Amino acid sequence: RMKAGREHVIPLSPPALALLQKAATYREARSPLVFPGQRGAKPLSDMTLTKICRDAKIEAVPHGFRSSFRDWVAEETTFDGDIAEMALAHAIGNKVEAAYRRGNLLDKRRVMMEAWASYVTCNMDDTTHA
């Protein structure tokens, strides 16, 4: 569920699934979450990722990953912008369009996310995918 409490289904690429499967092997018994926060019932804070980037002297911020994805869709692909916006769980600004849009474009988003996974892992050798 997103911040607004709405369900958001995410089609995961094979590299993303492999990463989650590896992360799950480190799961703590105190929480069913793959990435638990200090309080096991709540997820890891996005500010934790920001601190990790800052401490590692990485000039990136977690929200920038979302922006990079959106820029890639717009500049490097022919995927429709609406599909990218839906992948990012952005609300539809036009109230009339929002009232009529019922689907989640899952099959189209799956193709797009597999292309994104290929793009971001293209320079990685097989041992670093998971």
Cβ–Cβ < 8 Å for 129, 121: yes
What integer is the mean pLDDT of 114-129? Answer: 73
Centroid of chain to Cα 66: 7
What's this model's pTM, rounded to 2 decimal places? Answer: 0.74
**How far is 66 from 79, CA to CA, in rounded Å?**
16
DSSP code of 19?
A: H
Tell me the pLDDT band of 129, cut-offs 50, 70 and 90: very low
**What does the pLDDT read at residue 130?**
42
Dihedral sign (CA 38, 41, 28, 66): negative
What integer is the mean pLDDT of 17-42? Answer: 85
Residue 58 sits at the vertex; the CA angle it makes with 53 and 62, to the nearest 5 degrees, is: 50
